Structure 1
Amino acid sequence: MTVKLIPQTPSAYDYPLLIKNILPTPLTYFPDREIVYRDKMSYTYVELNRRVQRLANTLEGLGVKQGDTVAVMDWDSHRYLECFFAVPMMGAVLHTINIRLSPEQLIYTINHAEDDVILVNADFLPLLAAVKDQMKTVRKIVLLTDGEADPDTPVNIEGEYERLLAGAAPDYDFPDFDENAMATTFYTTGTTGLPKGVYFSHRQIMLHTYGLMSGLCAYESQAAVNSGDVYMPMTPMFHVHAWGMPYLFTMMGNKQVYPGKYEPEMLLKLIVSQNVTFSHCVPTIIHMLVSSPVIKDLDLSRWKVVIGGSALSRGLCKAGLENGINLYTAYGMSETCPLLTVANLKPHMMEWDAERQVEMRCRTGLPVPNVMLEVVDTDGKPLPHDGKTAGEVVVRSPWLTQGYIQDPEKSEELWANGWLHTGDIGFIDQEGYLQITDRVKDVIKTGGEWISSLALEDIISRHPAVSEAAVIGVPDPKWGERPMALVVLKPGEEKAATPDDLKAFFARFAEDGVIPRYGVPDRVQIVDTIAKTSVGKINKKQLRVDFK
């Protein structure tokens, strides 16, 4: 016996899941809602639609055809939003370039992705100029500016974005094609080796958009989102399509605000002046904002912020809540498009006190619909959902990358036994919430036992004088590794805590049984800053080199 396939009438239209099918909905529901770029410009969804078509005509005039790759190097802008649509809707591939890569990594990704055209902000022309002679496939380069004079550069520029769009026709007939066509690609920088290219199809991005909608909008929770919210990303648009959020908020027809370069004053100005109610970012961005003295004078009580990329510590969560920010966690990775889980509070948790809610807001979260998620042992066997038994997190979902570009060996490692291996260690509790306890590579292995660096960071974040912290394993001749804490103190608190004070703070949690006694760091070092990666995460690889 086999399944019974549905018969298809020869004249029936087989509706493909293509990105182009996102745009008609906001044009029907909210055609006059705004797209805002910094304090420089705004226009409606009607104009967005016209500009997307003008951009497609511009790119076609530059020789872009189906299957070609168009790369973008820009701050978070309306231009980037237009590229999110026009490029894949043509049947080309959008390559969102990480603007913080080293020159060696930058040229590697450009050549490895086989970019045909690059759209580059004037701020990043020096980066491109440094590698222009090593480009193997790039045919045309388009300049992006905010209206200032064209810069003097050795890079051969085909034209300036706005002038090219102004000269292009406002109508473009976006074709139908296979929904499994590649829509986007970008590169994730690992701890070793060259960046790895992931890729996503139109079908995957469309399903991920509905996954976001179900995870963020469908459930009664502490921070449900709807079409009345005002959206502003604070995650770089080069990083996993800004977590896919621009596709969701365009589909729903929300007012959208794009901040350009991340500057605390501009971010706060836009949040207030544009009445922003929903954003997403890594913890370091929220840390930067809650550390700004300006924030004390602002009403942020309507602002919902999803934190991802790194663990949200209880200390930072409490600081955000005390400033009126509705903080909670979501989880995913570059390879997963990225959404896997959201830390929505269940209805019965809404009555809990603030301290218990903070614990759940900082959980990694509940799997959204169409995400199968397990924690498994070293043999791949699922572990009990008892809130304590930890294993590697493995996932299945229709929107996960199917591999790494031109890297079959790493692709097979990623998909061993038919599950995508996240490289994260965690447990699932009785309520179904996932809690990541560490990255496999960041677990501190001491005397044959494992200690979670994230758990130690969460503990020290609760000290009233601590602004930011990272915990790493450093070599030890007796135990193999021992935990070391690096701590940034709050301004004005430099004399409020010594390394010995902070070790004593850890020790109290050991006495209460929260962590084992061997989990108390031998070394606590007070530092001015903590190294970050190109996407704002704590760079533990670099810290292990600096403090070995």
Structure 2
Amino acid sequence: MSKGSDKMNYQLNLGKILKRAALYFGEKGIVYFNGLNREEINYQEFFRQVLSLVSFLKTLGVRRESRVGALAWNNLPHLLLYFAVPLAEAVLHPVNLRYSKEQILYTINHARDEILFTQREFLPLINELKEELHLVREVITIEEINFKANVLFVDFDEIAEDLPAKLCYTTATTGTPKGVLYTHRDLYLHSMALCMANGFGIAESDKILVMVPMYHVNSWGIPYAAAMAGATMVLPGNNFKGEFLAKIIAQEKVTLAAGVPTVFQEILKAANRENINLGSLRKVLVGGAPLTMEIIEGFSKYGVAVEQVYGLTETAPFVASNFLKSSLFNLSQEKKQKQRLKLGLPAPGIEVRVVGEKGEDVPRDGKTVGELWLKGPWLAREYYNDQIHTKEAFVDGWFRTYDLVTIDEYGYLEFCDREKDVIKSGGEWISTLIVEKYLLAHPDVKEVAVVGLPHPVWQERPVAFVILWEDARVTEGDLLNYLRGKLLSFWIPDRIVFLNELPQNSVGKVQKKVLRERFQRLLLDNSEEE
């Protein structure tokens, strides 16, 4: 380039990711399931169908920055929309299928969706809501789209990298869901981070099971990163049961999978019960809740590495991954094991602060607890159309996570609790996460949630809500005795309550607020009876 000429115009947009996949890995692509029916499409044909869908969107009057909603599971039409809507210079809003009816209505209206693509199974819901969907002018069932129609030429260099591409909403553990806009550049840089060896390590040779719901934070960004790397994707459709997923892993020789701990627990349970070999996996990535030794040990028998990853909707979501630094290879096995259960090290480009109560940076001692603040190139700058929450969470260029963590001498972050979940009992802090970790280590415990409930003397006391495995016979007294000697005495729950199910939000996280509300008088009533 000659001196004084203009800077090269290269926009980091999703079209560049897709074009590379078609050009260099065109013979590879996507395996997708509709029920038990298995089909395939290569990246060349996928690219052509994306461009056909862009043409169709233009005929619908979709304009620059129009909002397009999608109600769909992890299937091929949804993946086509992942690319086609942003390449039409519009914004895709994957509607969270696990939301309540009221939350679905709220997010569609708040996003200002004009077009809704939906699977046929959700038409009754849309028809029920249609009188209150203020801006929706067309509803299209994805089963009826002709993906082989005319193809529109798209000049990817003309799609600006700072143009909004996706709009996702938080899981709304408490309160109203908050919207987060991602630009093409955000998603491109995030994909590069996932492809790094110490990110998710996504490579061309991988077969990736896309089992994080595609309505949740871009399925953790895995579809975009997989296309960037030229990896094969496997879409399970609407079946997220452990036995089905375990069979797909074995059948398709899946090498990489990511998801929440409960899903991996179900996969391991099914694999053991049905004698399914999970040995094709080289690595599983666990996020959304703390990693347990049960999962690490369960996969170790197949020779599969397990890594903790951490992120949030506001961070697209990748923030940190847990790999052992080479300088720590000589640690004892006990210390290595302890490191593996931490959140890990921040990804390249992510800056962190762990902030104490007075606004100071806490020491890197692995003990002092502070709130995690973040900044980085693909993080949100604000909440969409929500000035109040934006002002609370985005401070001086930093994003406040409201997650309480420590940072050790090696730079590893360790999750302690959510600010709203930590228990204050008699002036002392109790981490619900640590109590849960010990209970989950018991072989009879399937799921657990620990919350602080009002107490007449100690302000709050911990209570554990437990789901047992089907064949378990353990009692409340057994579990309380099991915790003695493992936890400080005042950390041991006052009660253990057995339930058939725990209230969960749209991505399987326990809604502790619901438990606190439902059982708020449990310890008070017991005290009055005494």
Pair in the same fold by TM > 0.5: yes
Could you tell me how far 1:339 is from its partner in structure 2?
0.5
In the superposition, relative to structure 1, how do residues 466 and 66 fare at CA in structure 2: closer, same or farther (>3 Å)?
same
Alignment match, 1:150 = none
CA apart distance, 1:310: 1.4
Alignment-derived partner of residue 228 in structure 2: 251
Structure-2 residue corresponding to 1:133: 131
TM-fit CA distance, 1:89:
1.6
Match of 2:509, SS?
coil
Offset from partner CA, 1:285-324 (integer Å, 9 cap, x none): 1122223265551221232211111112333433343465
Q: Distance in 2 between matches of 1:325 and 1:491?
A: 27
Q: How does 1:110-189 map to 2 (within 5 A)?
A: 110-145=108-143, 160-161=144-145, 163=146, 165-169=147-151, 171-174=153-156, 176-189=158-171
Distance 2:441 2:389 in 1: 39
Q: CA deviation at 1:80?
A: 1.7
Name the % identity: 36
Q: Does residue 1:508 correspond to 2:485, yes or no?
A: yes
Amino acid at match of 2:437: D
Counterpart in 2 of 1:213? 195
Q: Distance in 2 between matches of 1:127 and 1:353?
A: 56
Separation of aligned partners in 2, 1:294 and 1:461: 19
1:31 aligns with 2:26: yes
Alpha-carbon shift at residue 464 of structure 1 (Å): 2.5
Where does residue 523 of structure 2 map in the other structure?
A: none
1:181-206, Cα deviation, whole Å (9 max, x unpaired): 11111211434432211111111111
1:525 is the counterpart of 2:502: no
Match of 1:234 in 2: 211
The SS at the match of 1:244 is helix
Give the 5 Å matches for 1:417-432: 417-432=396-411
The answer to whether the 8 A contact 1:183-1:200 is kept is yes
Q: Structure 1 residues 106, 487: closer, same or farther in 2, change over 3 A?
A: same
Matched position secondary structure for 1:544: helix
Q: Partner of 1:101: helix, strand, or coil?
A: coil
Aligned pair in 2 of structure 1 residues 522, 322: CA closer, same or farther (>3 Å)? farther
Count of paired positions: 515
Pick one of 6, 12, 16 that aligns with 1:17.
Answer: 12
- What CA distance in whole angstroms lies between the structure 1 residues aligned with 2:508 and 2:176? 19
Whole-Å Cα distance in 1 between the matches of residues 168 and 18 of structure 2?
23
Aligned to 1:546: 518
Contact 1:444 1:452 in 2 (8 A): yes
Deviations 1:242-282 (A, max 9, x none): 11111111001001111111233331222111111111111
Please list every run of 5 or more consecutive structure 2 residues that lacks an aligned counterpart in the other structure: 521-530
Distance 1:314 1:65, change over 3 A: same
Deviations 1:75-106 (A, max 9, x none): 01122221111111221111111011111111
**For residues 229 and 375 of structure 1, do their structure 2 counterparts lie closer, same or farther at Cα, with a shift above 3 Å needed?**
same
Change (3 A) 1:407 1:120: same
Q: Report the Cα distance in structure 2 between the residues aligned to 1:343 and 1:524, rounded to whole angstroms.
A: 32
Q: 1:372: which partner in 2?
A: 351
Q: Is the 8 A contact 1:99 1:124 kept in 2?
A: no
Aligned to 2:525: none
> Relative to structure 2, which stretch is displaced further, 6-15 or 111-120?
6-15
Change over 3 Å in CA distance of 1:355–1:29 after alignment to 2: farther
TM superposition score normalised by structure 1: 0.89
Name the residue aligned to 2:279: 301
Residues 31 and 235 in structure 2, CA contact (< 8 A), matched pair in contact too:
yes
> What SS does structure 1 have at the residue aligned with 2:160?
coil
Partners of 1:361 and 1:125 lie apart in 2 by 45
Deviation at 1:177, TM superposition (A): 3.5
Gap change, CA 1:410 and 1:317, over 3 Å in 2: same
- Is 1:453 aligned with 2:432? yes
From 64, 70, 87, the equivalent of 1:89 is: 87
The yes-or-no answer on 1:335 pairing with 2:314 is yes
Quick one: structure 1 residues 61 and 414, their matched pair in 2 at CA, closer, same or farther if it must change by over 3 Å? same
**Structure 1, 6-15 or 188-197: larger mean CA deviation:** 6-15
Deviation at 1:224, TM superposition (A): 4.5
**Aligned partners of 2:432, 2:300: CA distance in 1, in Å?**
24
Partner in structure 2 of residue 104 of structure 1: 102
Distance 2:4 2:101 in 1: 54
Distance in 2 (CA, whole Å) between partners of 1:76 and 1:481 is 42
Alpha-carbon offset, residue 12 of structure 1:
4.5
**Does structure 2 conserve the Cα–Cα contact (< 8 Å) formed by 1:90 and 1:175?**
no
